[in-house]
Amino acid sequence: MMELSYQSMKIAHQAREADELRTETRRKSLLILIYQHLLGQGYVAAAVALDQETNGGVKRFEVCDNIDLEMVLMEYESYHYVKFQKYPKLIRRTAGPGQAENRFARSGGVKRSPGSAVKPLPKINPSQSPQSGNGAKKTAASSHTNENGSSVFPELSEFVLNVSSIRNGAGGEAAMNRKGQMSDGKGPIHDAVKGAGSDSDHMERLLKPLSGFSGMSGEMRDLAAIISRDIYLHSPNVRWEDIIGLEDAKRLVKEAVVYPIKYPQLFTGILSPWKGLLLYGPPGTGKTLLAKAVATECKTTFFNISASSIVSKWRGDSEKLVRVLFELARYHAPSTIFLDELESVMSQRGTSMGGEHEGSRRMKTELLVQMDGLARSEDLVFVLAASNLPWELDHAMLRRLEKRILVSLPSTPARQAMISHWLPPLSSTGGVELRTELDYETLAKGMEGYSGSDIRLVCKEAAMRPVRKIFDALESHQEGDSDMPAIQLETVTTADFLDVIAHTKPSARNLMDRYAAWEREYESV
């Protein structure tokens, strides 16, 4: 009995010691982070003062693995969003000069040695934000001055002024603070992108309001620019009837995404709409077309993001890009976020050679966090993901893509419809008639295993043959006479077409079994 209680006391003691050590390390790390942040922002004198006050303690170590204060705050924001469906307000104005110092001194912060002064970060984020409006602008700008009269947070006061001016220019009150999500630095991106119109002035207007910033604001500008390049502000203009075949897939997509937007009253409780949908299947079968049709037919804002471009263009900071993307989508709701080539970012963890890149891991986590946020919110934002290699996808991501739809290779009737669509008996190319005499049924049967995009390529190649034959005549003619000869293209025949097929191999035939197997396996999980 004695033995037992001694053991448990010993364990409790060890646990307490480990806990204290952790707290101590956390506090030290925080000071080092602050030191590095100050240096990074150019507050050299403040950094030197901190170094002196800690007797050089902050210089003896460095933080590991890309941790920085901004990152910590971002993660806190994500956590807050998932928990409360809104972002926290990060700062509020102090009641009077010196109040912050007094508060800090009351807690004993100023005098303590490194290791006991700093509270955990989330607790320094109270819940009120600066007021908007002109009066508030002035106070906000002037309240950030220290005793010497110089600005303590130059970027911040400039930022507050700039936000207001953008808002006034881009729809005033209506454009601001929707669902409380756009204060604290998110406003400029929303408003800038929202205000973007035609392609030509799009980037200029996007960049203008943010151009006065440096540091963080430059980063926001980059994020907004990258996303706005991929955002369709106008309808992608693909109708359901433009998609040949794929009747099942179309029906399922409509059921999952279109009807909940059209008839929201029906989709509540157990029928609440899916937030994540995966379109999988061979390349070139119409997954992108389906996503675009959703955007066109439902008039949702369409964010077309190629997953690999998120990673390659924005390596280390791709998780920030993901966050801004979802913010924009919520703001423009109803929105469709189309994530193409999902496997290139959401492959199973740790499968890549040499382990996972830290930035890519953070990005995956952010994507999962954002998807969870969607699932808990009422926002009409849908994630439509597409993958050619679903078996490579991360399981945590798959769980969040609740609805999965196989977009398979076209059936024989669909292939026939495609060929007759792209090569009808009579069409016109550049004012010149193109005639075909094709046995559509035979050709469709001969193209088993070809994807929609393969078939389109074959049709193009078949149409190109008679055109090629007239190039010589055209070229020799131009050197002499100025009158164009009457051009007569040869008719495209079934034999021509079969010849093209013989030279073009289908790209994904042998993968079909694998999709079917994956579908079976997944259904049984």
| Token pair belonging to 280 | 């999988």
Task: Give the 3-state secondary structure of residue 246.
Answer: coil
Min dist CB 509 to ligand ADP, Å, is 15
- Our finding on whether 461 is near ligand ADP (CB under 6 A) is no
In whole angstroms, give the CA distance from residue 186 to residue 176. 10
Nearer to ligand ADP, 35 or 338 (CB): 338
- Our finding on whether 287 is near ligand ADP (CB under 6 A) is yes
Min dist CB 384 to ligand ADP, Å, is 11
Sign for the CA dihedral angle at 215, 217, 221, 226 comes to positive
Min dist CB 423 to ligand ADP, Å, is 13
In whole angstroms, give the CA distance from residue 302 to residue 284. 20
Site string for ligand ADP, 370-389 (x = CB under 6 A): ----------------x---
- Our finding on whether 390 is near ligand ADP (CB under 6 A) is no
Min dist CB 429 to ligand ADP, Å, is 17
Of 143-151, 159-167, 452-460, 500-508: span binding ligand ADP (CB under 6 A): 452-460
In whole angstroms, give the CA distance from residue 460 to residue 465. 9
Q: Which of 88, 185, 273, 452 binds ligand ADP (CB under 6 A)?
A: 452
- Our finding on whether 261 is near ligand ADP (CB under 6 A) is no
Amino acid at 389: L
Cβ neighbours for 212, distance < 8 A, ≥ 6 positions apart: 158, 162
Of 45-53, 281-289, 312-320, 464-472: span binding ligand ADP (CB under 6 A): 281-289
- Our finding on whether 404 is near ligand ADP (CB under 6 A) is no
C-alpha to C-alpha distances, 161 to 156, 195, 434, nearest whole angstrom = 9, 18, 62
In whole angstroms, give the CA distance from residue 463 to residue 492. 7
- Our finding on whether 244 is near ligand ADP (CB under 6 A) is yes
| Token pair belonging to 380 | 């009409």
Min dist CB 302 to ligand ADP, Å, is 14
- Our finding on whether 145 is near ligand ADP (CB under 6 A) is no
- Our finding on whether 246 is near ligand ADP (CB under 6 A) is yes
Min dist CB 417 to ligand ADP, Å, is 8
Give the length of the chain: 525
- Our finding on whether 453 is near ligand ADP (CB under 6 A) is yes
In whole angstroms, give the CA distance from residue 74 to residue 52. 29
| Token pair belonging to 158 | 């400039």
Nearer to ligand ADP, 348 or 453 (CB): 453
- Our finding on whether 401 is near ligand ADP (CB under 6 A) is no
Amino acid at 237: N
Are residues 422 and 378 in contact, defined by beta-carbon separation less than 8 angstroms? no
Binding site for ligand ADP (CB under 6 A): 243-246, 283-289, 386, 452-453, 456
